[in-house]
């Protein structure tokens, strides 16, 4: 697989380099393309030298919101499976939320609750990174593909 071979080649040339790479969506894609399980694929990445994974592609971990803002991409359940499997294998990850689009406070609270539950179960998150929605480059905003999408977070939301 390309990601595993790329990681192996980088570690061969730069063995001291910590590789923080491959989002849960990229891991899922690699496993599907390689016709193996997520656990097998993550094991291959770890053996090749991946140190940690970014917790990106989480967006908001509510499937109805995800279906609006990122249809056809990794599902909430798949994201959770990749991240918890990585943690079980000793691969730590970051965690994220993208806010300022169509989510409500209830969605944010549920997202944070799910991350808290995963952290209690695995202890595998290294940090939490809140990412404000950047509307200027997003087709769902610019092309009005999603109803009621906001142009990013308000100043008050950013400061919370």
- Is there a contact between 52 and 29 (Cβ–Cβ < 8 Å)? no
Give residue-wise pLDDT tens across range 133-148: 776 776 666 656 667 7
Residue 154: helix, strand or coil by DSSP? coil
Handedness of CA 153, 136, 98, 95 (dihedral sign): negative
pTM for the model stands at 0.91
The angle, 0 to 180 degrees and rounded to 10, between the axes of the packed helices 24-34 and 76-88 is 90
- DSSP string for 90-119: T-EEEEEEEESSS--HHHHHHHHHHHHHHH
Domains and CATH numbers, the chain: 2-131 (3.20.20.70)
The residues pairing with 89 across neighbouring beta strands, listed in sequence order, are none
Give residue-wise pLDDT tens across range 46-77: 999 999 999 999 999 999 999 998 999 999 99
């Amino acid at each position: 697989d390309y990601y595993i071979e790329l990681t192996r080649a980088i570690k061969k040339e730069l063995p001291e380099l910590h590789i923080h790479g491959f989002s849960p969506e990229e891991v899922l894609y690699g496993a599907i393309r390689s016709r193996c399980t997520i656990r097998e694929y993550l094991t291959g990445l770890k053996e090749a030298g991946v140190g940690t994974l970014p917790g990106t592609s989480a967006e908001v971990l509510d499937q109805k919101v995800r279906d609006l803002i990122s249809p056809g991409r990794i599902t909430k359940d798949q994201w959770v499976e990749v991240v918890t499997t990585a943690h079980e294998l000793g691969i730590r990850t970051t965690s994220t939320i993208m806010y300022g689009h169509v989510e409500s406070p209830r969605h944010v609270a549920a997202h944070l609750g799910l991350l808290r539950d995963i952290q209690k179960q695995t202890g595998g998150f290294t940090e939490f990174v809140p990412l404000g929605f950047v509307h200027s480059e997003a087709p769902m905003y610019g092309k009005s593909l999603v109803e009621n999408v906001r142009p990013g977070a308000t100043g008050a939301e950013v400061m919370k």
